[in-house]
Amino acid sequence: MKSDDREREASGQALSRLVEKLRADFSNVKIKEAGVFYWNPYEKEVGYLIGHEESALLLLHELAHTELGHEGYEWDMELLQMESAAWRKVRDELSGRYGVRFDSELALRKLETYRDWFWERSSCPGCGTYGFQGLDAKYACRACQRVWRPNDNRFKRVWRKGVDEKRVFCDFSEIDKLLQF
Ligand SMILES: [Zn+2]
Ligand SMILES: [Zn+2]
């Protein structure tokens, strides 16, 4: 057996042991092997993928969403906040509890994909200034008054019912704070 095969097998076994422990500790959550990592709050289901060096941490990340009671989000900023909170939970609690070494570069890399997505959606197609997102998810630019609806649906949006009319002004310093690991 080649040494990387052996390593893969060892990490596969470590992952199955972890999954067993998590199933016992989170008996209200269905934890199942899938083609992607995901968290489905309505089915109380977490999916994970085997064969990745990062599988254990990514699985803990999805479970962190369940622990934090994350469901839908209304504004893009909220998704960033949830992602950041889930990684903090892995760093501060879950990785220690389950003996998985935390990798802040991985967390950062994952968060950056959300940040890039956010920048892309919130910058005004007319003048490039960052806009604010209002009710019904449209963005508006304070500089040139343009209003736009971003059409990148990479992350599934789940709408909450009975939302009050309000606007979310993006606090960009907040975003940098979310990305400190
Ligand atoms: Zn996440
Ligand atoms: Zn503009």
What does the pLDDT read at residue 154?
57
Residues flanking ion ligand 2, Cβ below 5 Å? 124, 126-127, 129, 141, 143-144, 146
| pLDDT confidence tier of residue 23, bands split at 50, 70 and 90 | very high
Residues flanking ion ligand 1, Cβ below 5 Å? 83, 86
Average pLDDT across the chain, whole number: 83
What does the pLDDT read at residue 173?
64
Lowest mean pLDDT among 52-61, 63-72, 164-173: 164-173
Kindly state the average pLDDT of the residues 135-147. 84
Ligand closest to 145 (CA) is 2
What does the pLDDT read at residue 29?
96
Distance CA 135, CA 85 (A): 24
Checking if the pLDDT of 68 tops 90, the result is yes
Across 13-167, the runs of DSSP E, i.e. the strands, are 30-33, 38-40, 45-48, 132-133, 139-140, 147-148
Task: Provide long-range contacts, Cβ within 8 A and 24+ apart, for 19-27.
Answer: 19/48, 19/59, 21/98, 22/59, 22/63, 22/98, 26/63, 26/66
pLDDT tens figures, 92-116: 999 999 999 999 999 999 998 888 8
Indicate whether this model's pTM tops 0.85: no
| Distance from Cα 67 to the centre of ligand 2, integer Å | 39
